[in-house]
Chains A and B, each alone.
Chain A
Amino acid sequence: AQSVTQPDIHITVSEGASLELRCNYSYGATPYLFWYVQSPGQGLQLLLKYFSGDTLVQGIKGFEAEFKRSQSSFNLRKPSVHWSDAAEYFCAVGARVLTGGGNKLTFGTGTQLKVEL
Chain B
Amino acid sequence: GAGVSQSPSNKVTEKGKDVELRCDPISGHTALYWYRQSLGQGLEFLIYFQGNSAPDKSGLPSDRFSAERTGGSVSTLTIQRTQQEDSAVYLCASSPATGPNSPLHFGNGTRLTVT
Contacts and interface: CB of A to CB of B under 8 A. Distances in A.
Interface of A: 4, 32, 34, 36, 41-46, 49, 51, 90, 92, 94-96, 98-110
Given A41-B108, A43-B91, A105-B104, A96 B99 contact: yes
Interface stretch (B39-47, B70-78, B80-88): B39-47
Contacts of B103: 34, 46, 49
Contact of A102 (B48, B101, B105, B108): B48
A51 B55 CA distance: 25
Contact of B42 (A43, A94, A103, A110): A110
Given A102-B56, A107-B35, 18 more contacts: A41-B108, A43-B4, A43-B91, A43-B108, A43-B109, A44-B43, A49-B103, A96-B99, A98-B50, A99-B55, A100-B51, A100-B55, A102-B33, A102-B98, A103-B100, A107-B42, A108-B42, A110-B42
User: Which among B40, B41, B43 has the highest number of chain A CB atoms within 10 Å?
Assistant: B43
**Majority SS at the chain A contact face:** strand
